[in-house]
Amino acid sequence: MSLVDVLNVTKEYANGEETIRPLDGVSMSIEEGDYVSLMGASGSGKSTLLNLIAGIDQATSGQIIVDGVDITKLSRGKLADWRAAHIGYVFQTHNLIPVLTAYENVELPLLLLPMSAAERRKRVEIALEAVDLTSRASHYPRQMSGGQEQRVGIARAIVANPTVIVADEPTGSLDDETTEQVLDLLGRVNAELGMTLLMVTHDADAGARARRRIRLERGRLMENGKETKASALRTA
């Protein structure tokens, strides 16, 4: 089985008397160490699928299996614990806490895990070194550029050595030069650290950086012009 299997997943929202279905029986697989870009028109459900895989939202029906765990069967409390241990999230707008330094922002996810202070310090230092921000460890977000803030966000996403990194429009608020730097860094995280990466983007150039490019069209996932399937559903 793949690292991530999305099996016949549907997501519905009620809007008054109308039912909105951004995802309609989608299936896909992500292999360990893969780098996948998920594209589609605005409002097509890209971020909805990302948040389902990340355990932030729950599917209406279907299964999502991550590293052998069916997260659709976890209670909200257990899902939160699972998410802390297995998901690294890169946000579009950094989501750094302004009163914390870069070091403290990166350390934050580790405070949710059973870990000694010495181990936390070691992991934070390694993560900041990976994004070339060791010299900015004591700086607050207001003292950094937008690109540096996003690099802190990436360090925060990788610090717990997650099973999957999910990135939701990670370059959506950056200028062209900074976008290139952030995409280069995400590529290095995948290639050099071997971390599995799923990136939602509306930018075709950013999407082309990934090894696999999947589009969401009318609630269905398409790859190379064909609807995607999950490995657990394949018969061959």
Per-residue pLDDT of the chain (236 residues; tens, 9 = 90+): 599 999 999 999 888 888 888 899 999 999 999 999 999 887 778 999 999 999 999 999 999 999 999 999 999 999 999 999 999 999 988 889 999 999 999 999 999 899 999 999 999 999 999 999 999 999 999 999 999 999 999 999 999 999 999 999 998 888 899 899 999 999 999 999 999 999 999 899 999 999 999 998 877 888 887 887 776 443 32
pLDDT at residue number 224: 81
pLDDT at residue number 138: 97
At residue 145, what is the residue type? Answer: S
The answer to whether 64 and 71 have CB atoms below 8 angstroms apart is yes
Domain count, the chain: 1
pLDDT at residue number 231: 61
The answer to whether 205 and 173 have CB atoms below 8 angstroms apart is no
In a domain, 199, yes or no: yes
User: How do 164-168 and 196-200 pair as beta strands?
Assistant: parallel
In a domain, 223, yes or no: no
In a domain, 18, yes or no: no
CA 203 vs CA 97, 174, 188: distances in Å? 27, 12, 19
CATH no. for residue 155? 3.40.50.300
In a domain, 25, yes or no: no
Q: Cα 177 to chain center, whole Å? A: 22
Please give the model's pTM, rounded to 2 decimal places. 0.89
- Containing structural domain, residue 152: 31-60+73-214
pLDDT at residue number 126: 96
Beta strand extents in the chain (DSSP E only): 4-15, 18-30, 35-39, 61-66, 69-70, 87-90, 164-168, 196-200, 212-217, 220-223, 226-227
pLDDT at residue number 173: 81
The Cα 94–Cα 195 span in angstroms is: 20
At residue 225, what is the residue type? Answer: G
pLDDT at residue number 232: 46
In a domain, 3, yes or no: no
pLDDT at residue number 182: 92
pLDDT at residue number 148: 95
In a domain, 229, yes or no: no
In a domain, 127, yes or no: yes
In a domain, 122, yes or no: yes
